[in-house]
Amino acid sequence: MSLKNWDNKTWLSSNDYIESFNNFLIKQTKLNQNTQILDIGCGRGKILGCLRSKLKLKKKPLGIDIINHKDRDKRINFKKIDALNFALKSEKNFDLILIKQTIHLVKLNVIKKLLALLKKKLNPQGKILIFTLDTQTNEIPTFKLMRLKLNKSLNRDKKILKIITKLYPYSIKKKFTFSVNIDKKRYLEMVKNRYISTLIPLSKKQILKGAKEIEIKYKDILKFRDKLICIMIKN
């Protein structure tokens, strides 16, 4: 599975989104200059790069991903490796481990082992923050087939959230919301670029048909809330 476009030229890469998300992180975790951060599935690392500048972090955050983007942020350290292998091999500890919209890519039977390993890599008072799409009131604009695939993915996310809350009954649940205003033509480009994982398996014909559905269904400016569930696991 390839997710080369998930954080590229979408609202997820906008300055407003990154600023809003980083403010959420700072509020929830009380980050400071000495904080050591790991981002699992970091993409291009723009969030952590901006966070490093905002907090003037003394140590570069570490981002890991299975894709080595050529345009990744230079303000972070990067390692091309999957999460489980990193957790098994690395001897580093962190104050914050961020898993943003990537936990659904981990096999269900691996999640328990991965989280247990990551929790051991937390410094005292450290936290793991896991973000998934809101499984109950998701507002992402879709076409019919995309909605079917997305609902299937969200049902899997529900199972993952149940697994996590059962493993860590004292975890804390928060919500992050970002209001999106986007030109329909720009959104259609994102759909054609398969910006979300549910679009990756679809054929070009299915994507083009879906784009036509969106063209008819929505107004010229799409307005919706990108809503995430955040599960916080403390050391």
pLDDT digits (tens, 9 = 90+) for 10-33: 788 889 999 999 999 999 998 999
Torsion of CA 65, 19, 134, 30, to 10 degrees: 80
Tokens linked to 137: 């009131």
User: Which residues have CB under 8 Å from 27's CB, separation 6+?
Assistant: none
H helices present in 67-173, as ranges: 83-89, 108-119, 144-167
Q: Is 193 helix (H, G, I), strand (E, B) or coil?
A: coil
| pLDDT score of 156 more than 50 | yes
| pLDDT score of 95 more than 80 | yes
Of the candidates 155, 143, 141, the residue with the CA atom closest to the CA atom of residue 221: 141
Q: Residue 104: exposed, middle, or buried by beta-carbon count in 10 A (0-12, 13-18, 19+)?
A: middle
Candidates 3.40.50.150, 3.90.1150.10, 3.40.50.720, 3.40.50.1580; correct CATH number of 11-181+225-234?
A: 3.40.50.150
Q: Whole-structure pTM over 0.95, yes or no?
A: no
Mean pLDDT of the chain: 93
Helix, strand, coil percent content, the chain, rounded in steps of 5: 45, 25, 35
Average pLDDT over every residue of 200-217: 96
Tokens linked to 99: 């898993």
Gap between the Cα atoms of 93 and 86, Å rounded: 12
